[in-house]
Chain A
Amino acid sequence: MRAKAKPEAEAITTEMTGAEVLIHSLKKENVEVLFGYPGGAVLPIYDALYRSPIKHILSKHEQGSIHAAEGYARVSGKPGVVIATSGPGATNLVTGITDAMMDSLPLVIFTGQVASTVIGTDAFQEADIMGITAPITKHNYQVRDVQDLPRIIKEAFHIASTGRPGPVLVDIPKDVANKTISPDYDSTIHLPGYQPTFSPNILQIKKLADAVGQAKKPVILAGAGILHANAGKELLTFTEKNKIPVVNTLLGLGSYPGQHPLFLGMGGMHGTYTANMALYECDLLISIGARFDDRLTGNLAHFAKNAVVAHIDVDPAEIGKNVPTQIPIVSDAREALRKLVDVDSETPDTEEWRSQLTENSKNYPLWKKTNTDEFLPQQVVELVHEYTKGDAIITTDVGQHQMWAAQYYAFTDANRWVTSGGLGTMGFGFPAAVGAQLAFPDQTVVALTGDGGFQMTLQELSTLQELNLPVKVVIMNNHTLGMVRQWQEAFYEKRYSHSLLPVQPDFVKLGEAYGIKSYKVTTQEEARGVFEEAFSHRDPVLIDCRVSGKENVYPMIAPGKGLHQMIGVKP
């Protein structure tokens, strides 16, 4: 007990309910915005919120809340905070929680729960959210004693945002939220089982530096870990010093300048020929903050098979999980890169290797149809790039349009790229744009989405309308579940089972129903006119781009094939 409490501290030590403690703790964590949806079990929390200045964004479905929180977290680096009621509110979050877990996004999720006295009785709107979310959260808590609430919230934010970031769920029974206590905010975090490694082992760094010095064909695979660690500058320094080419993972895009001569593009299933051949042929592979997803590696038997593999990751469990690793380095990416640059070491002679790669890039660049009147989906991405000067925050849904966005937007800066990688969640892109826009109100935010995926979460148009958020919704409308159609064309003899969408809503009328300026464009010229207008003001816009429905994403590594077996490389 403090003898002479300041007025502010005084307020803290007075009696308050669990719900008020929660709101107060959120303030202490500098939470600016909550994404949520009310309901019976969280009524006490919403009542406390009613008297609080914290901004709350009412989505139209809890999935909208959580994807918005993910978008917010991805671009801001701060934890996205979500509130949902018990039972259906909580279960509606499950896809988003899994998505955040797969893509290492920091989220803190508060779910209401039925009163402690009836937990376990199949009470109204009771769901075992602790059990349901155990495998899809970094950690989860059920608050049994309201006195624990300040500590649990502190721990939740700490766990979500340190080490390898991830979602943490806090389940709060209604009676706990109602109970009045004198909270103790001084209670400290006590997590003896959680001490993420931050700094690398210096001997391992030296070992890697030696390997770099001896390499003839080194390549770096840079993943989202670079972005989480804010290590873009250090990566640039290290690669320029040693002249090592860089491949990005899908989620790592933006961690290296897209136009840099050392940049080879994205690797993996729809990566560039040059990037994949570099991963195939390299003699030293340095993976930083990437986890060797199967969509990146292709058939492991052919992946970097002549290379010494070094792997820098904050999560030791990722090292050696899929690819045998000779130089494991458990560390924050920025710390490791700093130490690597500091170590006195030889720089490799990579000139021959680089000219080989440049040759590849020249001969086998990304390509699309030419001499056609069709409005091509790739052109939409190029136009968006042009009219946003390559500087927008781009969110995508999942499918062909996602891959074209990844291939053609050429990100130059970090934290401008928001996509669902690990889980590949349709319905992610548009609400994620809402969250990203809330994190950066002055930035241009474009939701590049498919006609299929947009329809999974389009109810959030209502949120745009309500907040007049200037998100530009660009639907790459190919009248198909394009990626599914592509696989059916390639692997199922064109049996287009339930992948064609000839009947669609009128997206323009739909947008207008929500009071949003909406356009349909069918040619590149039309698109130019509309984009010019749409990107000149700060209002929400919806643009239904009627693109060719027959395009496929190339090049491609068919499932089961190796990185060197790309099909659809430029003829």
Chain B
Amino acid sequence: MKRIVTATVINQSGVLNRITGLMTKRQFNIESITVGHTETEGVSKMTFVVNVDGDGKIEQLIKQLNKQIDVLKVSDITDQAIVVRELALIKVISNAQIRSEISGIIEPFRASIIDVSRESITVQVTGDSEKIEAIIDLLRPYGIKEMVRTGITAFPRGSQKSVTDIKQFSILN
């Protein structure tokens, strides 16, 4: 099963190496990792998406991460009300004629075209992973030349009462 785990870490050199190293050693499959600064200087936050077999494994992962001296806090936020975002850049083969067709497709996703050349356009989209998957599916028939995804970053919502993510796009539901 897929779990979203966040780790708040002290921004020391080597901390990323220690964390990815322990995941490799203990055979956790990392689907994505993002790292970046937080509101506190010297403190970074990592978001992992990991594929694990069961509750025992995820518990072990959290405990192992917690054991690292530079790790301040680890949470499995999968089952919480969270805000999740990922960014993807998708270069789609497109000439002038179908450019507007593509514009039409991506519009409900609030995606934008951020680069245009004679043979292609680059689409930028942000959202949760399902949304990104959906737009990729729709663009694939045109021919995807190149694509990069950042992996997700996430944290719990301000209020834990609203359990459902309010989707910002319509065509998926």
Q: Do A and B bind each other?
A: yes
Give the distance to chain A from B125, nearest Cβ to Cβ, in Å. 35
**Cβ-defined contact, A194 with B69, below 8 A:** yes
A261 vs B58: C-alpha distance when bound (angstroms):
42
**Cβ-defined contact, B13 with A138, below 8 A:** no
Q: Counting CB contacts under 8 A, is B129 at the interface?
A: no
Q: Counting CB contacts under 8 A, is A192 at the interface?
A: yes
Q: Chain B: interface secondary structure?
A: helix
A134 vs B25: C-alpha distance when bound (angstroms):
11
Given contacts A317-B60, A320-B59, contact A193 B70 (CB under 8 A): yes
**Cβ-defined contact, B17 with A134, below 8 A:** yes
**Cβ-defined contact, B14 with A317, below 8 A:** no
**Cβ-defined contact, A317 with B63, below 8 A:** yes
Given contacts A192-B72, A320-B56, contact A134 B63 (CB under 8 A): no
**Cβ-defined contact, A316 with B17, below 8 A:** no
In this complex, what residue of A is CB-closest to B10? A193
B140: chain A residues at CB < 8 Å are none
Give the distance to chain A from B17, nearest Cβ to Cβ, in Å. 5
Give the distance to chain B from A494, nearest Cβ to Cβ, in Å. 36
Q: Counting CB contacts under 8 A, is A559 at the interface?
A: no
B69: chain A residues at CB < 8 Å are 138-139, 159, 191, 193-194
Q: Counting CB contacts under 8 A, is B21 at the interface?
A: yes
Q: Counting CB contacts under 8 A, is B67 at the interface?
A: yes
A342 vs B99: C-alpha distance when bound (angstroms):
78
**Cβ-defined contact, A130 with B63, below 8 A:** no
B18: chain A residues at CB < 8 Å are 134-135
Q: Counting CB contacts under 8 A, is B162 at the interface?
A: no
A317: chain B residues at CB < 8 Å are 60, 63-64, 66-67
Given contacts A134-B17, A142-B14, A317-B67, contact A193 B60 (CB under 8 A): no
**Cβ-defined contact, B17 with A131, below 8 A:** yes
1/0 per residue A488-519: CB within 8 Å of B?
Answer: 00000000000000000000000000000000
Q: Counting CB contacts under 8 A, is A369 at the interface?
A: no
Q: Counting CB contacts under 8 A, is A140 at the interface?
A: yes
**Cβ-defined contact, B13 with A135, below 8 A:** no
B64: chain A residues at CB < 8 Å are 317
B66: chain A residues at CB < 8 Å are 316-317
Given contacts A317-B67, A320-B56, contact A192 B14 (CB under 8 A): no
Q: Counting CB contacts under 8 A, is A315 at the interface?
A: yes
8 Å CB contacts to B: which residues of A296-334?
Answer: 315-317, 320-321, 324
**Cβ-defined contact, B60 with A321, below 8 A:** yes
Given contacts A135-B21, A316-B63, A320-B59, contact A193 B14 (CB under 8 A): no
Give the distance to chain A from B34, nearest Cβ to Cβ, in Å. 20
A379 vs B60: C-alpha distance when bound (angstroms):
44
1/0 per residue B82-126: CB within 8 Å of A?
Answer: 000000000000000000000000000000000000000000000
1/0 per residue A69-105: CB within 8 Å of B?
Answer: 0000000000000000000000000000000000000
Q: Counting CB contacts under 8 A, is B136 at the interface?
A: no
**Cβ-defined contact, B70 with A134, below 8 A:** no
Q: Counting CB contacts under 8 A, is B22 at the interface?
A: yes
> Which bucket holds chain B's interface residue count?
20 to 34
**Cβ-defined contact, A193 with B17, below 8 A:** no
A130 vs B13: C-alpha distance when bound (angstroms):
10
A320 vs B18: C-alpha distance when bound (angstroms):
23
B56: chain A residues at CB < 8 Å are 320, 324
8 Å CB contacts to A: which residues of B1-35?
Answer: 9-10, 13-14, 17-18, 21-22, 25
A140: chain B residues at CB < 8 Å are 14
Give the distance to chain A from B132, nearest Cβ to Cβ, in Å. 33
In this complex, what residue of A is CB-closest to B60? A321
Q: Counting CB contacts under 8 A, is B71 at the interface?
A: yes
Give the distance to chain B from A205, nearest Cβ to Cβ, in Å. 21
Give the distance to chain B from A320, nearest Cβ to Cβ, in Å. 7
A320 vs B68: C-alpha distance when bound (angstroms):
18
In this complex, what residue of B is CB-closest to A128? B17
A129 vs B17: C-alpha distance when bound (angstroms):
12
A130 vs B68: C-alpha distance when bound (angstroms):
15
A141 vs B22: C-alpha distance when bound (angstroms):
17
A192 vs B68: C-alpha distance when bound (angstroms):
11
Give the distance to chain A from B22, nearest Cβ to Cβ, in Å. 7
Of A144, A193, A315, the residue contacting B68 (CB under 8 A) is A193
Given contacts A130-B14, A193-B69, A320-B56, contact A135 B63 (CB under 8 A): no
Show the binding face of A for B, using Cβ within 8 Å: 130-131, 134-135, 138-140, 142, 144, 159, 191-194, 315-317, 320-321, 324
Report 20 cross-chain contacts, Cβ distance below 8 Å, ordered by A residue: A130-B14, A135-B18, A135-B21, A142-B13, A192-B72, A193-B10, A193-B68, A193-B70, A193-B71, A193-B72, A194-B69, A315-B67, A316-B63, A316-B66, A317-B60, A317-B63, A317-B64, A317-B66, A320-B56, A320-B59
**Besides A193-B9, A324-B56, 13 new A-B residue pairs in contact (Cβ under 8 A), listed by A number:** A131-B17, A134-B18, A135-B21, A139-B68, A140-B14, A142-B14, A144-B13, A191-B69, A193-B10, A193-B72, A194-B69, A316-B66, A320-B56
Q: Which 9 A/B pairs are nearest by Cβ-Cβ distance?
A: A317-B63, A139-B69, A193-B72, A194-B69, A134-B18, A135-B21, A134-B21, A193-B71, A316-B63
